[in-house]
Amino acid sequence: MDKHLLGGLSAAEFLRDYWQKQPLLVRNAIPGFAGLLDYTALQALACEDEAQARLIRETKAGWALDHGPFKPSDFKPKARLPWTLLVQELNHHLASARDLLQQFDFIPHARLDDLMVSYAVPGGGVGAHFDSYDVFLLQGSGQRRWQISAQTDLTLVDGAPLKILQNFVPEHEWVLNPGDMLYLPPHYAHNGVAVDACTTYSIGFRAPSVQEIATQFLVYLQDKLDLPGMYQDADLALQSHPGEIGDAMLNQVADMIARVGWQRADIADFLGRYLTEPKPHLFFDPPEPALTQSAFARRAHKQGIALAPKSLMLWRGNTFYLNGEPLAAMPDATTLQQLADRRRLAGAQITASLLIALYPLYLDGYVVLGQAGD
Ligand code: SIN
Ligand code: CO
């Protein structure tokens, strides 16, 4: 990590004093940063089929939200009213976006969501709101005025297509210049308004709710459960009310449900799968044409390999998870840990047995041959 990124704080100091605790404004966090792509390239991206893009406009009737993919004519201002274009998952599309995310490797990958970019015309923004995420708001080109508040009143405007705070009372305000960055913990009220046409890059970290984790764990458990036996009542006593659910029935079902159990290993396995599960709109592109195993091995030795930009890989102990599934017995755990940590491996690091194990992942489009910038 570059020493400017956290304004001279070490990663450990930042985690101790700011992460999930309080906002941090860093002037010149990335010296010379002016954004990763210009407006024309951003528009083109927002018109691609897979792009997760939103257009937010302030109309006379209130906020309006449209989802992409868009057509170039959608960006022609209909009236002189402010608007903003947001594109998620820039890291799936740009090597420079993946390099930028690497600077935030002091936060575990399991917490990372994605890199989003917003482009706004003067006066544009998404309104005063809060997010459930931790976010680093990095100013690209132009200037944006940020107002923030520790307020606990997080009541939202009813019926708006966006989350807009009903009563936003700013406590601090700054104008961010290119390369400046603002960190905000979850649920911190904020409002960013473009001073001139500007771009802002949001490095977002997911923070699942207890409800989400528990619900997803139950879904996982359902697939794993294997409980023998049946309801039995050879000792059925005569009931005076046939419509009543009797105590004996309730007791027996309570005992059945008490047999639903799990170990810490089940939770670890659930987490590995859940945290690497690709979002439902994502599809992987197998190589076209696919190299044979020996040609793949030769090229991988020369060029190295990388995780495909959409791939998510995490590990715990000797178990590796890639895109929602555990990898079956893999050789070279230390090298694989590096693949998960750095998203790439140099050719010299990859043994012949690892190449054999990686080949099916290459055919799935989960792993790609490395190239400069990948
Ligand atoms: C924006 O970039 O306009 C919105 C980012 C945010 O407030 O989370
Ligand atoms: Co926000």
**Pair (244, 178) in one structural domain:** no
Q: Does ligand 1 lie within 6 Å of residue 118's CB atom?
A: yes
With a 6 Å cutoff on the Cβ, whether 192 touches ligand 1 is yes
180 and 89, same structural domain? yes
Is residue 238 domain-shared with residue 113, that is, in the same domain? no
Identify whether residues 201 and 221 lie together within a single domain: no
Specify whether 217 is located in the same domain as 94: no
Expressed in angstroms and rounded, the spacing between residue 21 Cα and the centre of ligand 2 is 16
What CATH number should be reported for the domain holding residue 116? 2.60.120.650
Last residue of a domain, one of 266, 283, 301: 266
CA dihedral 350, 354, 355, 357 (to 10 degrees): -160
Say if CB 293 and CB 359 are below 8 A apart: yes
Task: Give the separation between CA 80 and CA 192, rounded to whole angstroms.
Answer: 19
Asked if residue 179 and residue 100 are part of one domain, the reply reads yes
Q: How many CA atoms lie within 13 A of 63 on its CB side?
A: 20
DSSP codes joined into one string, 301-314: HHH-EEE-TT--EE
- State both tokens at 31: 């010296």
Question: Do 87 and 200 touch, CB atoms closer than 8 A?
Answer: no
| Residues 308, 160 share a domain | no
**pTM across the whole model:** 0.94
Indicate whether 244 and 339 sit together in one domain.
no
Question: Domain boundary at 205, 232, 250, which?
Answer: 205
Query: Domain tally for the chain?
Result: 3
Walk along the chain (374 residues) and give the pLDDT tens digit of each residue: 899 999 999 999 999 999 999 999 999 999 999 999 999 999 999 999 888 999 999 888 899 999 999 998 888 766 678 999 999 999 999 999 999 999 999 999 999 999 999 999 999 999 999 999 999 999 999 999 999 999 999 999 999 999 999 999 999 999 999 999 999 999 999 999 999 999 999 999 999 999 999 999 999 999 999 999 999 999 999 999 999 999 999 999 999 999 999 999 999 999 999 999 999 999 999 999 999 999 999 999 999 999 999 999 999 999 999 999 999 888 999 999 999 999 999 999 999 999 999 999 999 999 999 974 44
Q: Which ligand is nearest to the CA of 187?
A: 2
Inside any domain, residue 283: no
The domain containing residue 341 runs over which residues?
293-369
Handedness of CA 254, 257, 258, 259 (dihedral sign): positive
**Does 191 sit in the ligand 1 pocket, CB within 6 Å?**
no
Examine residue 78 and state whether it is found in any structural domain, yes or no.
yes
Check if 135 has its Cβ closer than 6 Å to any atom of ligand 1.
Answer: yes
C-beta 56 within 6 A of ligand 1: no
For residues 24 and 103, state if they share a domain: yes
Tell me the β-bridge partners of 112. 205
Same domain assignment for residues 137 and 246: no
Residue 374 domain-assigned (yes or no)? no
- C-alpha to C-alpha distance for 185 and 357, rounded to whole angstroms: 40
Neighbours of ion ligand 2 (CB under 5 A): 131
Is 274 a domain residue?
no
> Relative to the alpha carbon of 137, which ligand is closest?
1
Is there a domain that residue 365 lies in?
Answer: yes
Q: Cα–Cα distance between 55 and 157 in angstroms, integer? A: 19
Asked if residue 310 and residue 236 are part of one domain, the reply reads no
Please identify, among 165, 180, 205, the residue that sits at the C-terminal boundary of a domain: 205
Please give the number of the atom of ligand 1 that sits closest to the Cα of 194: 3
Burial annotation 169-189 (CB, 10 A radius, 16+ → b, else e): eeeeeeebbbbbbbbbbeebb
